[in-house]
Amino acid sequence: MSTEENKGLVRRFYREIDEGNLDAMDELVAEDYQDHSPPLFPGIAPGREGLKQAFRLFWDATPGTHEIEDQIAEGDKVVTRLTARGVHERDLPGIPATGKPITMTATVIHRIENGKLAEKWAEKDLLGFLQQLGVIPAPGGAPE
């Protein structure tokens, strides 16, 4: 696949997630998908099934959107800088629903193999995410 096709695959991946279409993961993600970033919550399975499990968890609790800010591609890798937005409508493991809007930025590298997402490395603003949910105090000691 060309670098433009690879970028399109990643854009479609986020679009399908935003639409809640997790069944599309079977078409877009390799079965032995490797996520090199530790899961935020314990008990997430490896591979494509783990990815679907994690997105189901987040989609149910914090439905929202991913806005792609930038994409750079070279060879079989695509780097995406994005902003995820949602509302914490339902409980996450250990975090009762707050009803608060949440925003998290991330930079994600996907490696594509045979037309599917095969590997992922991500740097997410998890500290800011947890501060918005009141799990960790915001700077100055008071939760947001």
What is the residue-averaged pLDDT of the chain? 94
Q: How distant, in Å, are the alpha carbons of 13, 31, 34 from that of 27?
A: 10, 10, 16
Mean pLDDT, range 24-28, rounded to an integer: 97
> For 86-120, b where at least 16 C-beta lie within 10 A, e where not — what string?
bebeeebeeeeebeeebebebebbbbbeeebbbbb
Amino acid at 15: R
Residue matched to tokens 């314990």: 42
Query: What is the model's pLDDT at position 144?
Result: 53
Mean pLDDT, range 80-88, rounded to an integer: 97
Confidence check: pLDDT of 143 > 60? no
Verdict on whether the full-model pTM lies above 0.75: yes
Q: Which residues contact 40 (CB under 8 A, 6 or more apart)?
A: 54, 126
Task: Kindly state the greatest CA–CA separation across the chain.
Answer: 49
Residue 81: name the closest of 104, 102, 58 by CA: 104
Mean pLDDT, range 16-36, rounded to an integer: 95
User: Please, what sign has the CA dihedral across residues 19, 79, 126, 28?
Assistant: positive
pLDDT in tens, 64-80: 999 999 999 999 999 99
Helices (H), strands (E): how many in the chain? 4, 5
Mean pLDDT, range 118-135, rounded to an integer: 95
Q: Which two tokens stand for residue 24?
A: 């599309």
Helix/strand/coil for 40: coil
